[in-house]
Structure 1
Amino acid sequence: MYNAASINKALKGELLQETGFSEIGHILLDSRKLIFPETSLFIPLVSARRNAHQYIDELYRKGVSNFIVSEPVPLEKYPKANFILVKDTLHALHMLVAWHRQQFNIPVIGITGSNGKTIVKEWLFQLLEKDYNIVRSPKSYNSQIGVPLSVWQMQPENQLAIFEAGISQPGEMVNLEKIIRPTIGIFTNIGEAHSEGFLNIRQKINEKLILFMKSDILIYCKDYLALNECVLSFHNQMQEGPELFSWSRKTDADLRIINTEKLDHHTSIEATYKGETLHIRIPFTDEGSVENAIHCWALMLYLGKEQDVIQQRMDLLSNIAMRLELKQGINNCSVINDSYNLDLGSLTIALDFLQQQQQHQVRTVILSDILQSGKSDATLYEEVADLLRQNGINKLIAIGKNISREKKSFQQIEGLKSQFFNTTDEFIQQFNGDDFQFETILVKGSRVFEFERIGKLLEQKAHQTILEINLTAISQNVKYYQSLLKPNTKLMAMVKAFSYGSGSFEIANLLQFHGVDYLAVAYADEGVELRRAGITMPIMVMNPEPASFDAILHWNLEPELYSMGILMQFMEEVNTAGKSNFPVHIKLDTGMHRLGFVTKDIPELIKVLTSGSVLKVQSVFSHLAASEDPAEDAFTQQQGNLFYEMSHELQKSLGYAVIRHISNSAAITRHPELQLDMVRLGIGMYGIDSAKDIQAQLRNVSTLKTTISQLKELEPGETVGYGRRWEAKRPSVTATVRIGYADGYVRRFGNSKGKMLIRGKLAPVIGVVAMDMCMLDVTHIPEAAEGDEVIVFGQDLPVQQLAEWAESIPYEILTGISQRVKRVYFQE
C-alpha cells in the first residue's frame, strides 16, 4: 500500500493538499467503475472530447479521498481529500506504475506482436501456474491505459509476471517498456493488423522491439523474414541487448521444427533442441494455435522445464475464452458466460460488465474457487466478498471446497442470499430452473470446475443459426465517430428497428454506460421496452402515433412532432394529463419531403409553441437526403442552409436554447460543418460507412452464423430444391445449412446469387432458398463436414457484399434478420 506523500515523491509533483495518512491500493480511471472508494486513487484523464476532472465532485461524495490532477481544484470544497498536481495525468499514470514496477525483482515476461499475444499469455499461465504465483494482464489489457492497470496488480506474493503490449502508432512502446520492463521477451509474429499508424511493416517491428531493450532474452520465429532481419539489426545495435532464442520450420534455429502432423483433433510437433529430438502434442489443429504453442514451448525450454512435464502440460492446453458472452437465459433471465478462467482481475472485469446490464433488478453470481492466488483463503475471499458487496450482488452460488469454508465472509453481506456447494456435480444434481427468474446471472469459474455445463442449463435453447454482436466493436466504433466531432457536439445513437437488427436493451445498456447523449427509436413500444429494461437516458420517438401518446407520457419518452395535426393532438394529451414543459423534438422538412414542417409552417408553429408552457422543445432537426453522395453535395448544402434559416427563426422566437441536429453517419465525416449541436449516429455505429477511408477505421459488429446439417453426394443430372432449379453437371457434394427466408436470408440469394463461407472458402447457394434451410455447393471444399460452422456474413464476408448480391442495401439485410435467430452478445 502507498499513500499520497509517497506517490507524490515518486511523481515529483506538487502536493496541493494532504489531509492525513490514507492507504492507496487501487487506481481508478473510470468513475463508473468505483468499487473501493477508501483505497482508490482517481487519475482523471483528459482527451479532446472528455475531461474526467468533472467527476471529482461525484467521486468525493462517494468516499474517494485521493486524486492526481492536472488542473486547479477548489480545495475548500474537498477538505478531507489529498490532491497531487502534475502537468499531464496520463504521463503521471505511466510514471506511477513504472515506479511501482521497480519495487519487484521477479521474472517478467513481456509479449508483443500482431496476433496471438493474449493466447500465448493465457497458455503460459496454464503451463506455469503449478510452478509460480503468477500475475498477468487481464483479458487483452495491452494499451497505453491497459498496461499500467495490468502492472499495477503486481504484489509481493507474485513470483512471475506475464504482460502483453500493443501499440497503434510510433512512440507508444517507449512508455510501455518503462512500465513493463520485461526480463523475458516474446515477439509472437508480424502482420498487417493495426498498421495504419506506421510507414511500413519494418517501422512497426522496430517500434515493437523497443519493449525488449533491457530484456535478458527474446524469443521469436525466424520464418518471418522482415521480423528476423529487424531482430538481428536490433541485436547488433544494442551493446547490452537481449540474448536471442529463435525457432524455425525452415532453417537452423535454437528450436528447429522438423515435422508437424495434424490428426483429427490434435497436432503432433517434432523438433530438435540442443542436439536432442523432442516431441509435444497439442489439442488443436489450426496454424495459429500451432505457432502460439511453439512460442510457449520455447519459453518452457528456456526456463529449463523437464521435457516430460512440458509434454504432459501441452497436451492439456484448453481453449481461451477471449470474450464475455451475454445470452438469453431460461425464465426471462440474461446469462453472462465467462466460465473458463478466474482470478481477481478477470472477476472485476466481469462484474463491470454485469453492472452495465440494467434489464433485471436481481444480479446473481455463480462463482467457483479461485485457484493459485497466492493469498490465504481468508484474505482472498474477504476481497471477493468486498467486490460482491460493492457491486450490489443479490445472490451468490459458490462452488468449491475453499470458498465454502469461507462462507462467513459472504453471509455477513447485508441483502446477499448465498448458497454453497462443494462441487459442480453437486450443484447440477440439485439444479432447479425455477429458482432463476428475471435476473442477470454471471457464470464465472476456473476451468477445472467445468462451468460450461452450468451455462448450458441456464441458457435458453437456441436454434443453431445465431447472430453474434460484438459489443466491444460497437463501443470502439462510437468512440471513433466521437473523435471526429467538435468538442461540444452531442451524440444521438439510433437504436430503432431493434438496433438495426442487433438487439434492444443489450445495445442501449452499452450506449448508456458509455455516455451517449440521446437514443432514438422508431416507435413508442421500442422506447417502453428500453425503459422497462432500466434505460434512464433521454429517448426520442421518431414515429409517434396518437394511440401511443399515453405510453409516451407515462414512460417519459420524447416524441418527434412533424405536423400541425400531431402537434395539436399531443398538446391536448399533455394538457389532459396535467403536465407542462413536456420535452418534444420538432422535425423540419428541408428536402427529404417525407415528414416535417416546411418553411410556410414556421409562423404558425411559433405561435402555437409560444402560446403556453405545455411543451418544451428539446431539439429541432431535419434529415439529409443524400449526404453520402458527392454528386449531391450541392443539394446537401442547400438543405443545410435552409435548416439554418428555419431553426434560427424558431429558436429566436422560443427564447431559449435548443439542440439543432441534421447530420447522419455519413455527414459526420463528409460534411463536418453540419455537425452543429448534435449528430445522429446510425449504421456507422454498427460498422458500416459509405466512405472507404472511414470504413477502414470501423470494426465489424455482426456475424451471422449457421451450421451444416447434412452433406449429400449427387450424380450428374440430379437436382436440388423446390422447382428443381439447380442441376448437378458433374459428381457434386451439397451441404444443407440451417437458415432460410424465415430467418431473414431472402429468396433473392438463391440460384448462385448468394454465397457463404465454409472453412474460409466461398460456397454458392444452389436452388431456391426454403423457409428454414438452403443448400450450398461444396464440391470444391472436400474438408467440409456435417456440423461445420458456416458464416453467412461477418468480418471475412461483409454484409455490404450480401447487399450487393441481393441488389439491396446493408440496412435491409441487417434489419431483416428474424427475431427467431438468437442474438449472442459478447465483450472482448
Structure 2
Amino acid sequence: MSIEEIYQRFRNSNKVCTDTRKIEKHDLFFALKGDNFNGNKFAQQAIDSGANYAIIDEEEFYSGPQCILVNDVLETLQQLATHHRRQFDIPVIGLTGSNGKTTNKELLKTVLSKKYKVQATQGNLNNHIGVPLTLLSMPTDTEMAIIEMGANHQKEIEMLCKIAEPSHGFITNIGKAHLEGFGGVEGVKKGKGELLDFLKASEGYVFVNEKNETLTSMVKERQMVRAVYYGKDERALKMLSESPQVVFENPEGQKFTAHISGAYNFENMQTAYNIGLYFNVHSEDACEALASYAPDNNRSQLVKKGSNEIFLDAYNANPSSMEASLKNFMSYETEKGKVVILGDMFELGEDSEKEHESLGQLIAEGNFETVVLYGENMKAALKHLPMAFYFTDKFSIHNWVKDKAFDNKAFLIKGSRGVSLETIVQFIG
C-alpha cells in the first residue's frame, strides 16, 4: 500500500497511536518495535479496542483487512509524517542544541500563541519517533509548528530534518552534552550544525543570537544568506536581574518579571521574543507571554516549601548546564544559607571523571553552606570537596535530608534524568 493510500486512512482516523493502552475509537495504530517489545503482537488487540487500522511489518500477525502490512513500521510512520507536513504551507521551526531545547520550545510556543494557532512538540518527544508523532498531531488549521530535535550522535539531526523539513530553525547553544556519542565538543558542533546544513540547502531561515560567538561563527562559516540576527540590536530585551527570577525590560521601557531565573534562561527568552517579533507578534504581547511562562517539568522551577526556596532543575544535566546553574546560584543574593544537591552527569564517556572533578572545583568556589553529592560519578568531585556529604542510594539521601529538617535555606537541586533528584523535594521543609 502506498503512502498516499495510508494517508487517506490516516485522514479518516482519529489520531495516530503507538500504545495499545491508550487506544481510542477510530485510532490508527502503528506496531513499533523496541529492544524489549514487538508492537506487531498487539495489532489485533488495538483493533479490538477500536482502532480503524493497525500498521504491521510481520506477516504472521496479519488478521484481516484492518491490518496494513508494510516493509517497516517505523519508516512508514516517518514517511507518513513527512507527507502530512507537506500538506502545510506554514513556518515549521526546527530547534536543537546542547541545553535548553524544551524550555526554548515552550517559551517560543507561548509567544507565538499570542497571534497564531501553534502546534509544538509535546514534552521532550524529540527523537526519530517523537518528531513524526508531533507532525502527525498537526490539525489542518495549524498556522505555525515548532519541532524540537534531540540527538546524541552524528547524522541524527540530519535524519530528523529530512522528516520534518523545517523552513526556519535555530540552535540554542553548543555545550558539553552527549560527549560520548558525539565524540567531543567538536563533534557536538558538527552534529547540531546538521540543522544549519539542511536550512542552507533548502534555502530556509536561521535565527542567530549574535551574542553567542560559537553560533554566529557556525552560521558565517556556512555563508548562510538567510540568517536573522538578534540580541545586539535596538529590538533586544534588556535583563535587569537574573535571580531569584529574571526581571527584564523591552525596548519600549516596560518592565516584566518572569517565573524563571538565570542569565541562561534570559537568553532563551531573548530568542523567543525576537522570533516572535520576526513573525509580527507585538512586543508587549511577547513580553507578557514570557512573563507568564511557569515551568512545571523539573526544569528551572522555583519551588517554595515553608521558609525554604528550591531552584529545581533536575530534568537533566551536563557540564555546561551545571556550570550555568551553579554560577547563577552563586550570584543569587540572599540571607538564606545556600545548599547544593547535585547528581551524576551521564553520557560523558572518557571525559566523565575529568568533568566531574572540574565540577567539584567550581562547587568549591561557591562558598556554599552545605554540599551534597549523589551518584557513583560524583565521587570524582569529592577531591575538591572534603566537607561534602556523599550518597549513592536514594534511601540514604532521602533519610538524611528528612533528618536535617532544613529551615530558611536556598537550595539548588540538579542532576541527570537518570538520577531523578526531584524526589528529594518532598523531604525538604
User: TM-score by structure 1 length?
Assistant: 0.38
C-alpha displacement of 1:93 = 1.0
The whole-number CA distance in structure 2 between the counterparts of 1:263 and 1:815 is 34
The whole-number CA distance in structure 1 between the counterparts of 2:116 and 2:275 is 14
Correspondence for 2:241:
262
- Structure 2 counterpart of 1:46, which letter? K
Is structure 2 residue 305 aligned with structure 1 residue 317?
no
Correspondence for 2:23:
35
Correspondence for 2:355:
none
Q: For residues 657-701 of structure 1, what are the alpha-carbon distances to aligned partners after superposition, in whole Å with 9 as ceiling and x for unaligned?
A: xxxxxxxxxxxxxxxxxxxxxxxxxxxxxx9xxxxxxxx9xxxxx
The equivalent position to 1:243 in structure 2, one of 226, 234, 252, is: 226
Correspondence for 1:195:
179
Is structure 2 residue 102 aligned with structure 1 residue 106?
no
The answer for unaligned runs of 5 or more in structure 1 is: 13-19, 237-241, 272-276, 325-337, 341-451, 474-686, 688-695, 697-710, 713-733, 740-756, 764-777, 785-789
The whole-number CA distance in structure 2 between the counterparts of 1:282 and 1:796 is 39
Structure with the higher strand share, 1 or 2: 1
C-alpha displacement of 1:234 = 2.8
Q: Contact 1:185/1:217 (CA < 8 Å) preserved in 2?
A: yes
C-alpha displacement of 1:196 = 2.5
Q: Contact 1:799/1:813 (CA < 8 Å) preserved in 2?
A: no
The equivalent position to 1:818 in structure 2, one of 376, 399, 416, is: 399
C-alpha displacement of 1:24 = 2.0
Distance change in 2, residues 1:29/1:246 (3 Å): same
- Structure 2 counterpart of 1:792, which letter? V
C-alpha displacement of 1:147 = 0.9
Q: For residues 289-313 of structure 1, what are the alpha-carbon distances to aligned partners after superposition, in whole Å with 9 as ceiling and x for unaligned?
A: 1100110121122123333444444
The whole-number CA distance in structure 1 between the counterparts of 2:170 and 2:160 is 15
The equivalent position to 1:163 in structure 2, one of 122, 147, 157, is: 147
C-alpha displacement of 1:155 = 0.7
Correspondence for 1:444:
none
The equivalent position to 1:296 in structure 2, one of 247, 268, 272, is: 272
The whole-number CA distance in structure 1 between the counterparts of 2:80 and 2:309 is 48
Correspondence for 1:53:
40
Q: For residues 11-58 of structure 1, what are the alpha-carbon distances to aligned partners after superposition, in whole Å with 9 as ceiling and x for unaligned?
A: 89xxxxxxx9993232222333x231x322222223454432222243
Is structure 2 residue 192 aligned with structure 1 residue 205?
yes
C-alpha displacement of 1:137 = 1.1
Secondary structure, counterpart of 2:67 in structure 1? strand
Distance change in 2, residues 1:792/1:226 (3 Å): same
User: TM-score by structure 2 length?
Assistant: 0.68
Distance change in 2, residues 1:203/1:791 (3 Å): same
Alignment of 1:563-578 (within 5 A): none
Q: For residues 710-739 of structure 1, what are the alpha-carbon distances to aligned partners after superposition, in whole Å with 9 as ceiling and x for unaligned?
A: x99xxxxxxxxxxxxxxxxxxxxx949799
Correspondence for 2:325:
none
The equivalent position to 2:5 in structure 1, one of 1, 9, 12, is: 9
Correspondence for 1:218:
206
Distance change in 2, residues 1:230/1:285 (3 Å): same
Q: Contact 1:189/1:221 (CA < 8 Å) preserved in 2?
A: no
Is structure 2 residue 12 aligned with structure 1 residue 23?
yes
Distance change in 2, residues 1:203/1:738 (3 Å): closer
Alignment of 1:320-359 (within 5 A): 320-323=295-298
The whole-number CA distance in structure 2 between the counterparts of 1:28 and 1:813 is 35
Q: For residues 307-328 of structure 1, what are the alpha-carbon distances to aligned partners after superposition, in whole Å with 9 as ceiling and x for unaligned?
A: 34444444x333222259xxxx
- Structure 2 counterpart of 1:39, which letter? H
Distance change in 2, residues 1:51/1:257 (3 Å): same
- Structure 2 counterpart of 1:232, which letter? K
C-alpha displacement of 1:6 = 7.3
- Structure 2 counterpart of 1:301, which letter? L
Is structure 2 residue 134 aligned with structure 1 residue 154?
no
The answer for unaligned runs of 5 or more in structure 2 is: 320-333, 342-358, 404-420, 425-429
Secondary structure, counterpart of 1:818 in structure 2? helix
Structure with the higher helix share, 1 or 2: 2
Q: Contact 1:282/1:293 (CA < 8 Å) preserved in 2?
A: no
C-alpha displacement of 1:95 = 0.1
The whole-number CA distance in structure 2 between the counterparts of 1:146 and 1:268 is 34
Deviates more, 1:799-808 or 1:227-236: 799-808
The whole-number CA distance in structure 2 between the counterparts of 1:114 and 1:302 is 24
Distance change in 2, residues 1:310/1:30 (3 Å): closer
C-alpha displacement of 1:184 = 2.5
Correspondence for 1:792:
372
Which structure has more relative contact order (CA 8 Å, sep 6+)? It is: 2
Q: Contact 2:372/2:390 (CA < 8 Å) preserved in 1?
A: no
Secondary structure, counterpart of 1:173 in structure 2? helix
Kindly report the root-mean-square deviation, in angstroms, between the aligned alpha carbons of the 2 structures.
4.7
Alignment of 1:501-540 (within 5 A): none
Secondary structure, counterpart of 1:300 in structure 2? helix
C-alpha displacement of 1:248 = 4.4
Distance change in 2, residues 1:122/1:259 (3 Å): closer
C-alpha displacement of 1:120 = 1.8
Distance change in 2, residues 1:191/1:819 (3 Å): closer
- Structure 2 counterpart of 1:317, which letter? S
Distance change in 2, residues 1:809/1:66 (3 Å): same
Secondary structure, counterpart of 2:277 in structure 1? helix
The whole-number CA distance in structure 1 between the counterparts of 2:340 and 2:210 is 44
Q: Contact 2:340/2:371 (CA < 8 Å) preserved in 1?
A: no
C-alpha displacement of 1:819 = 8.5
The whole-number CA distance in structure 1 between the counterparts of 2:10 and 2:145 is 30
The whole-number CA distance in structure 1 between the counterparts of 2:389 and 2:106 is 43
Secondary structure, counterpart of 2:152 in structure 1? coil
Q: For residues 141-177 of structure 1, what are the alpha-carbon distances to aligned partners after superposition, in whole Å with 9 as ceiling and x for unaligned?
A: 2111111111111112322222211122222223322
Q: Contact 1:219/1:244 (CA < 8 Å) preserved in 2?
A: yes
Correspondence for 1:394:
none
Larger radius of gyration: 1
The whole-number CA distance in structure 1 between the counterparts of 2:124 and 2:142 is 20
The whole-number CA distance in structure 1 between the counterparts of 2:7 and 2:157 is 20
The whole-number CA distance in structure 1 between the counterparts of 2:377 and 2:254 is 38
Q: Contact 1:800/1:809 (CA < 8 Å) preserved in 2?
A: no
Correspondence for 2:409:
none
Correspondence for 2:170:
186
Q: Contact 1:135/1:160 (CA < 8 Å) preserved in 2?
A: yes
Secondary structure, counterpart of 2:399 in structure 1? coil
Q: Contact 1:135/1:161 (CA < 8 Å) preserved in 2?
A: yes
Distance change in 2, residues 1:247/1:82 (3 Å): same
The whole-number CA distance in structure 1 between the counterparts of 2:90 and 2:275 is 16
